[in-house]
């Protein structure tokens, strides 16, 4: 059986389409951070500013993981609101457009990894 995913602290299993819709609904509603967990211990975090998103995939708690990147993107963007109220600024090269982030969530949950052709940086 394949890996199953749910929102952190929620037992309801999600497929990629449901998870992607959840991220979009959260962002539209002003909740800019969404956390997912798999039954294999992997963690997926999406932090958005409404336009771009930091997407981080970790093998488990404490793992530095890997994150989606936009090679060649210049500048930085602020407004990334964490659940504790902290507001971060990230380099645009370390984030991706929100639509790409939603596609990455769908792919990771349905297929186990990022979409083919997506750029990722390994931080381990």
State residue 12's pLDDT score. Answer: 93
| pLDDT tens by residue, 89-121 | 999 999 999 999 999 999 999 999 999 999 999
Alpha-carbon torsion, ordered 76, 52, 46, 100, to 10 deg: -130
pTM above 0.75, yes or no: yes
Residues 13 and 57: their CA atoms lie apart, in Å, by: 18
Tokens of 103: 């596609």
Query: Average per-residue pLDDT in the chain?
Result: 95
State residue 1's pLDDT score. Answer: 58
Bridge partner list, 58: 43
What is the CB neighbour count within 10 angstroms for residue 41?
A: 12
Residue 92 CB burial class (10 angstroms; 0-12, 13-18, ≥19)? middle
| pLDDT tens by residue, 36-94 | 999 999 999 999 999 999 999 999 999 999 999 999 999 999 999 888 989 999 999 99
In the block, tokens 């959260």 appear at 26
Question: Which residues are CB-neighbours of 25 under 8 A, at least 6 positions away?
Answer: none
């Amino acid at each position: 059986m394949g890996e199953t995913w749910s929102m952190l602290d929620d037992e309801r299993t999600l497929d990629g389409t449901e998870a992607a819709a959840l991220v979009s609904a959260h962002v539209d509603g002003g909740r800019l951070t969404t956390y997912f967990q798999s039954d294999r211990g992997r963690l997926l975090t999406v932090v958005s500013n409404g336009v771009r998103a930091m997407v981080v995939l970790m093998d488990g708690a404490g793992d530095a993981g890997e994150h989606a990147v936009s090679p060649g993107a210049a500048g930085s963007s602020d407004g990334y609101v964490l659940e504790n109220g902290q507001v971060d600024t990230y380099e645009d090269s370390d984030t991706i457009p929100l639509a790409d982030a939603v596609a990455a969530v769908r792919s990771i949950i349905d297929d186990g990894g990022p979409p083919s052709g997506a750029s990722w940086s390994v931080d381990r």
